[in-house]
Each structure stands twice: as C-alpha cells, then as structure tokens.
Amino acid sequence: MPNIKSAKKRVLVNQTKNQLNRATISEVKTAIKKFNNAIDTNNIAEAEKLLPMAMSVIDSAVSKGVLHKNNAANKKSNLSKRLSDVKSGKITIVIKKDNKTVAAEKAKAAREAREAIKAENTKKAEERALAKEATGAKDSKKKLTAKETKKAAAIAKDKETEKAEKEAKVAKKTAEKKAAPKAKEETTPKAKTTEKKAPAKKKPESK
C-alpha cells in the first residue's frame, strides 16, 4: 500500500480510469456483437444499419485512447469486408441457432412426443374400455337369458301346481255332491209302514 498522499491519489485515479476504459471496451464489443448477429441471422438491412454505428463506437474508443488506431482500423475493415462478402454472395450464411433456441426446440420436440404418447395411450384405454363394456353386455345378456329361462320354468311350475289344485278342488266338490244325497237319506226319518196283519187261523175245535 502506498504511504504518500499523491501515490494514494494516483491509485484512485487509475481505478476510475480503468473502469471507464472497461466500459468503453464493453461498448465496442457490444456494437461488434450486434453487427455479427445481424449477419449470422442473414438480416442484411439490419447489418447495414449497424455498421456505421459500430464504426462510430470504435472511433470514439480510439479518440479516448482505449484502442490503438491500427487495431481500430483492422476491426472496421473486417466488419465492412464481411458485409460486402455476404452481399456479393462470396460467403453463404448458414443461420446459426444459439444454445437457448436449440434447448427450446429440443424441449418442444420432447413435449410433443410425450403428448403424442399420452394421446395414443388414452385412445388405447378408451378402446379397451369399449371392448370391456361390449363383453360385459354380452355376459349380462347371457345371464339375463338364464334368469328368464329360470323364471319361465318357475311360472310353468306354478301354473301346473295351480292347475292341480283346481282339479283337486273340483274333484272334492264332486265327491261332496255325490256324498250329499246319501247323507240326506240317512238323516231323514223313515215313514212308519202300517202292515195289515193276516188274520190268525182259528184252531180247530176238538170234539
């Protein structure tokens, strides 16, 4: 650490100048990067608009003493040469995708694949459900037929039982009707019959 007052002040001044110089260099790099991005995306009109702005930033850095004049000339020459080569067709631009765009496209493709698989699984599940319902309907139809057969047999059995009961009742009634006259005869008192006694024969008188 410096002990002299002027040395201390020089340290602070150098720090301030260093920050200003770094800001100027950052501006130059940002201007060049914008121009190169316009070229990489094949946006010639935007590149033509950004070229003079980049050259102005480079000249400003030279005037501030941040860049050497030869370094600045090389930078400007490279920028103008690249633009003229793209215009003349000497260089064909293949549009580059940054890592963020590539990652977004991959994520989109993966999401679409997942959605397609999900839709396919849903469709299969619906088909299985429909098939299950169809088989269930067939089974229930068979069970219903068996129930109906059983019910019909029970109804027929009830009819036969009812018919047998009716026949038994009719037979009972006829038997009662036949038995009724006999009971009447037994219950009615017999009329007294007056029989005429034959006259008794007279015994012959003994002499």
Q: Which residue has the tokens 């002990």?
A: 3
Per residue in 84-121, pLDDT (tens digit) is 999 888 877 777 667 888 888 899 999 999 999 999 99
Residue 54 has, within 13 A of its CA and on its CB side, a CA count of: 26
Q: Radius of gyration over alpha carbons of the chain, in Å?
A: 64
Instruction: Report pLDDT for 160.
Output: 83
Distance separating alpha carbons of residues 105 and 125, to the nearest angstrom? 30
pLDDT band at 185 (very low <50, low <70, confident <90, very high): low
Instruction: Report pLDDT for 207.
Output: 46
Per residue in 152-168, pLDDT (tens digit) is 777 888 888 888 888 88
Distance separating alpha carbons of residues 207 and 205, to the nearest angstrom? 6
Is pTM beyond 0.75? Reply is no
Instruction: Report pLDDT for 30.
Output: 96
Per residue in 9-66, pLDDT (tens digit) is 999 999 999 999 999 999 999 999 999 999 988 888 999 999 999 999 999 999 999 9
**Residue of 81, 72, 87, 91 whose CA lies nearest to 29:** 72
Instruction: Report pLDDT for 67.
Output: 93
Distance separating alpha carbons of residues 9 and 2, to the nearest angstrom? 9
